[in-house]
Amino acid sequence: MKTFSDLTNYNKYLNLTAPLHPLMDSRVCKQAIPNFPQTSGEIQVNLFKISLKKNFTGDINYGNNKYYTENGLMLFSEPGQVVSWDSLTFWDGYAFVFHPDLIKQNPVAAKIHQYKYFSYEINDALFMTAEEEETITWLFTKIHMELVENKANANINIILSLLNAVLSYADVFYERQFKDKATKTISVSSKLKSFLQNHYNDLSKPVSNFPTVSSVAEELNMSSNYLTDLIRAETGKSTISFIQEFVIEQAEILLLQTNMNISDVAYQLGFTNVPYFSRFFKKVKGISPTEVRNQRKG
Q: What is the largest CA-CA distance in the chain?
A: 80
Of 85-94, 169-178, 233-242, 264-273, the one with minimum mean pLDDT is 85-94
Give the predicted TM-score (pTM) of the model.
Answer: 0.73
| Residue 154 pLDDT > 90 | yes
What is the full DSSP assignment across 102-126?
A: GTTTSTHHHHHTT-GGGG--GGG-E
pLDDT in tens, 49-76: 999 988 754 444 444 445 555 678 999 9
The mean pLDDT of the chain is: 87
* Residue 74 backbone zone (phi > 0: left; psi -120 to 50: alpha; other: beta): beta
> For residue 112, which of 123, 121, 122, 101 has the smallest C-alpha distance?
101
pLDDT score at 166: 97
| Residue 240 pLDDT > 90 | yes
pLDDT score at 163: 97
Residue scoring higher pLDDT (133 or 257): 133
pLDDT band at 83 (very low <50, low <70, confident <90, very high): confident
Alpha-carbon distance of 61 to 209, in angstroms, equals 32
pLDDT band at 167 (very low <50, low <70, confident <90, very high): very high
| Residue 259 pLDDT > 80 | yes
Which H or E run includes 246? helix 239-257
pLDDT band at 187 (very low <50, low <70, confident <90, very high): confident
Mean pLDDT, to the nearest integer, of 83-97?
83
| Residue 275 pLDDT > 80 | yes
Alpha-carbon distance of 231 to 137, in angstroms, equals 29
